[in-house]
Structure 1
Amino acid sequence: MKIAIVTGASSGLGRAYAKQLDRLLHPDEIWLIARREERLQALAGELGCRGRVLAMDLKRRESVEVLEALLAEERPEVAALVCAAGFGKFGRAQDLTAEETGDMIALNCRSAVEVTRVCLPYLERGSRLLEVASCAGFQPLPGMNLYAATKAFLLRYTQALRWELRGRGVKVTAVCPYWVKTEFMAVARDTANPDAVRHTPFAMRPEAVAAWSLTMNGLDLAVATCGPIPFAMEVGSKVLPACVPMALWDKLRRM
Structure 2
Amino acid sequence: MNQSNPTLAASRNRAFDQELSRGAKAALPVLLGFIPFALVLGAQASQKGLSTSAVALLTGLNFGGGSEFAAIELWSSPPQMLVIVAMTLLVNSRHLLMGATLAPYLQHLPLRKALPSLFLMCDESWAMGLDDARRNDRPTAAPAFSLGYYLGVALCLWLTWVLFTALGALIGPALGDVRAYGFDMAFAAVFLVLLRGMWRGVQAALPWLFSLLTAALCYRLLPGGWYVLAGTVAGLVMAYLWAKA
Q: Same fold (TM over 0.5)?
A: no
Larger radius of gyration: 2
Normalized against structure 1, the TM-score is what?
Answer: 0.28
Normalized against structure 2, the TM-score is what?
Answer: 0.29
Q: Greater strand percent: which structure?
A: 1
Structure with bigger RCO (C-alpha 8 Å, 6+ apart): 2
Q: Greater helix percent: which structure?
A: 2
